[in-house]
Structure 1
C-alpha cells in the first residue's frame, strides 16, 4: 500500500520520533500511485503503474546531522532507519549553518486533491492515447505523446510537535504532432490537478493545427522582433529568473537583484508596471502543499507588484543571520494578466512572431539572467493581426528581466507545468517588444 491515511501516517511518524534518542528528529513520509501511457509513431509503446512509499528520517546531535531513508514500515525497519540516521549523525562534522527544527506550525489545508484524478483507470489512459492518435492518423500526421497521472500523500512531523498531512493529485499531458514528411511540427501540453478540466480530443487539435500550418517554413532574418509568447514559451524563462530572488545570492553579489555597493534591491522597481507576480498555496487552479521542504508554513506572498520587488526568499539560516523573517518557500507562481487569449494578442499585432514553445533553455550569465534556447513546434510570422506563414525556428538570447521590461500587453493566465521547474505556474500569454533572435535553427 502506497497511499496511507492520515492516521496511518501519523502512527508511523510518531513511532519514529519516539524511537530517536537524538537531540531532535524530523521525519517525512511520502507515497504515490502513478500511472502513465506513452505513444510514438501513432502507436502505444509503453504503459504502467508505479507505486512507491518512502520514509526519510533526519536527526541531530548538536550541530551534527544524519539522514537515512527506507521503504519498509514494520517496527524493526523503523528502528533500523532511526539507528542508521543517528550513527551517521555521530560521524558527521558540525554543520556551521545548522538551524534547529521548526516549531509547531498551523497548516491550512489547500485544494490539491481531486477524486476524478485519483479514479483514473488504464482504460482512461488508453482512450487519451486513442484520442491523440486517431485524428492524427486521419490527417496523415504522426503523433508522439506522454500522459501521466498521480495521486500522492505527504506527511511531516518532528520532535517539537509539528505534524502535517495532505493528499494531492496531478495530471501531465504532452503531445507532439508532425507531418508525415517531418517538415511541420505542432505541440500541446496540459497540466492540471483535476482531470475533469482536461480533454484530449479538443487539446490535440492545437497540436494538429500547428503541425499542418508549420510546413514549408520560410527563413526570417535574425534580429529583434515583437513576439507573442504563449504561456509555455515564457514559463521556462520566468522559472530561471526566480533563482535570482534568493536573498543570500543577492546579498553575496551573485544575483541580478544585487545592489551596486552591497545589499539587495528589495523594494526597488525592476520591471515594467504591468508585471505583478505572487505566490499563494491555496490559489484556485494552482494549489500546492501548505508547507515547504523544511515543513515551514507557506503563505500568500507578494513577489513583484507593479514592477517593484516586494520580497526575497530567505533560507532559515540566512533569515536568522540577517534578522529577517523566513517564509515557506513558494510552490507556485501566479502572474497577473488580462482577459485576452493568445490569438487576441495576435490580432492586435501589426508585425511580429508567434512563439509556441521555448526549448533547451540554458544560462549564459546568472548575474543578468541572460538565457539562450530555441523556439520549437510552431513559430509563425504575424502581419496586420494575422498569422501570415510559418517561419524557421530561431536560437534566441534573452534575459527575462529585460523581457519583463518590454511588456506591451498580457493575456489571460493559464496553468503551466514543467518537470524542470519547482513551481506550479499560472502565466499569461505575453506581447513583448524587442525580443532577441540570434540565429536560425534547422530543427522543426
Structure 2
C-alpha cells in the first residue's frame, strides 16, 4: 500500500470503530536515513535505517487523544485505532478542539533528487575522503548524511495531501593541536556537497586558531559567521516566533513593531528546501514572513494556537506542539542585496581565519572587534527578552583595522538576541546565505555572515 492508502484505511477504521461523528487525522511517513561518520580521519561507522510511522489524532465525544505506531498491516492499524480510541475516552473534555483541516490544495515543493534518495555508502564516503584529503594531515571528524521522506495525510473531513523530499548534509571539523575549525552545509542534493571545499575551510580555520591569547570580557563589535547566526535563528524559532509562547506572553515578539534593524528580514520557508509540503494536521506549508525590514509581522501557529488568536494555522502543526508550541523550523535570514555567489559560501576560499570573501568584506569594515565562527551550549536565561548564555567554539579572532591579527581563547557570552539585532545594531549582512543543518534532518537554518555593533562577552577562559 502507498502512504495515502494506509492513511485512508485508518480513517475508515475510525469510522467503523468509533462511529461516523468521530473526527480523525492521519499522517503516514516513510523515512530513509543514512549516515556515514568519521573520526581520527577515517570512517568508523556507516548506518542506514528505513521505517514507516503512522500518527493518528482522534476527537470523539468532545475528547482528544493521539497515538502512533509503525505496523501498517491490518492488525497493526486496527490496534492503533483501538488504543487511541481508548485513550480518548479517558481524556478530559477538550473544548478548545480546533476541528479538522478542510479540503484544500497542497502544492508539492518539487525538491526531490533520486541520487540523494537512494545514495549508496560509497557516494557519502567519496565526500568524506575529499574532506580528509583537504585537511592536509590534520585530524578530521564529522559526518555525511542523506535523507529521503515520502508521506501522505488524510482526515475524516475528506482532506488529503502527499509529498516527497530529499536532503543531504555534511558537518566536519579539522583539529590542529587543541584548535578546531568547522565547516558544515545542508543541501537538497548530495551532489551539492563539496567535501574538498568544506575540508579546506575547516583546516584553514583550525590552523589560524592555534596559540590563542586571552582577552578580557566586555562588549565587542563582532562578525558572526553563518554557523553562529544559525544559533540565533534556532532560538528565535523556539522562543520568539512560537505561537503558543506568544499567546502565553512568554515571547518577545510584538507584531507590527520595529523590533529589529531595517536590514533584517526573517522568513520561515519550508518549501525552499527539504520539507514535506504539509504539516502534521494536513495544513499546507508556505513561506511565512516573520520579520520584514525590521518589523515583526507574524508568529507561527498550528490549528489550535491559531484558533485561540483568531488567525488560523500557518502550517506549523507538529509533534509536541500542544506542549512546546508550534515552531518555525526552516528559518532564513535573507542576505543583503547583490550578487549571491555560491549558495554554500564556498567561493574565494582562502586559508586562515576568514574562510570566504563574503565574511572578509564584513571583517574589513571593523576597526576593532571579534570574528566568531560558532556558538554552542546555549541556554535561555529569560525567555521573554530572550537573554541567552553560551560559549564560542571552533575559532575566535581579534580583528584590528579590518584584519584578523590573532586567535582568541573562547568566551562565555550573555546576550539578548533580539537586542543584538535591534534597530541600528546591525552594521552589515553578507550576500551569500549558507544553510546550516540541524541535528534532525528536515530542520535547517539559513543565513549569511552578520556584522553587529556589540556582543556581550561575560567571561573568558579564566572565568
Q: TM-score, normalised by structure 1?
A: 0.90
- What is the aligned partner in structure 1 of residue 460 from structure 2? 440
Work out the CA distance in 1 between the residues paired with 2:37 and 2:261. Answer: 41
Match of 1:282, SS state, is helix
- What is the aligned partner in structure 2 of residue 104 from structure 1? 103
Q: Quick one: structure 1 residues 300 and 46, their matched pair in 2 at CA, closer, same or farther if it must change by over 3 Å?
A: closer
Q: Deviations over 1:118-174 (max 9, x none)?
A: 2321112222222233343x43x1111111111111211111111111111111211
Contact 1:288 1:331 in 2 (8 A): no
* 1:410 corresponds to which of 417, 420, 429: 429
Q: Deviations over 1:59-107 (max 9, x none)?
A: 2212222333222222222222222222222222222432222111210
5+ residue gaps, structure 1, are 1-6, 258-264
Contact 1:289 1:331 in 2 (8 A): no
Work out the CA distance in 1 between the residues paired with 2:441 and 2:365. Answer: 31
- The runs of at least 4 consecutive aligned structure 1 residues that moved more than 6 Å come to none
- What is the aligned partner in structure 2 of residue 245 from structure 1? 241
Q: Quick one: structure 1 residues 280 and 253, their matched pair in 2 at CA, closer, same or farther if it must change by over 3 Å?
A: closer
Work out the CA distance in 2 between the residues paired with 1:231 and 1:305. Answer: 20
- What is the aligned partner in structure 2 of residue 335 from structure 1? 333
- What is the aligned partner in structure 2 of residue 187 from structure 1? 182
Work out the CA distance in 1 between the residues paired with 2:442 and 2:93. Answer: 29
Correspondence list, 1:102-251, <5 A: 102-136=101-135, 138-139=136-137, 141-179=138-176, 182-242=177-237, 243-251=239-247
Aligned residues: 424
1:256 and 2:243 matched: no
Work out the CA distance in 2 between the residues paired with 1:427 and 1:416. Answer: 8
Work out the CA distance in 2 between the residues paired with 1:82 and 1:8. Answer: 19
Contact 2:233 2:445 in 1 (8 A): no
1:426 and 2:446 matched: yes
1:273 and 2:262 matched: yes
Q: Quick one: structure 1 residues 93 and 158, their matched pair in 2 at CA, closer, same or farther if it must change by over 3 Å?
A: same
Q: Deviations over 1:202-231 (max 9, x none)?
A: 111011111111111111111111111011
Bigger mean CA deviation after superposition, 305-314 or 369-378: 305-314
Q: CA deviation at 1:426?
A: 2.1
Q: CA deviation at 1:186?
A: 0.7
1:351 and 2:351 matched: no
Q: CA deviation at 1:414?
A: 1.8
- What is the aligned partner in structure 1 of residue 297 from structure 2? 310
Contact 1:38 1:45 in 2 (8 A): yes
Match of 1:94, SS state, is coil
Q: CA deviation at 1:384?
A: 1.6
Q: CA deviation at 1:303?
A: 1.3
Q: Deviations over 1:9-67 (max 9, x none)?
A: 22221111111133111111111221111111223221121111121222221222233
Q: CA deviation at 1:253?
A: 2.8
Correspondence list, 1:85-96, <5 A: 85-96=84-95
Q: Quick one: structure 1 residues 68 and 311, their matched pair in 2 at CA, closer, same or farther if it must change by over 3 Å?
A: closer
1:68 and 2:67 matched: yes
Contact 1:19 1:79 in 2 (8 A): yes
Contact 2:134 2:197 in 1 (8 A): no
1:380 and 2:380 matched: no
5+ residue gaps, structure 2, are 317-327, 339-356
Q: CA deviation at 1:256?
A: 1.7
Q: Quick one: structure 1 residues 269 and 420, their matched pair in 2 at CA, closer, same or farther if it must change by over 3 Å?
A: farther
Contact 1:292 1:331 in 2 (8 A): no
CA RMSD of aligned residues (A): 2.1
Work out the CA distance in 2 between the residues paired with 1:217 and 1:184. Answer: 9
- What is the aligned partner in structure 1 of residue 47 from structure 2? 48
Q: CA deviation at 1:111?
A: 3.0
Match of 1:207, SS state, is helix
- What is the aligned partner in structure 2 of residue 3 from structure 1? none
Q: TM-score, normalised by structure 2?
A: 0.86
Q: CA deviation at 1:197?
A: 1.2
Contact 2:167 2:442 in 1 (8 A): no
1:8 and 2:2 matched: yes
Q: Deviations over 1:231-254 (max 9, x none)?
A: 110111222123222344334332
- What is the aligned partner in structure 1 of residue 271 from structure 2? 282
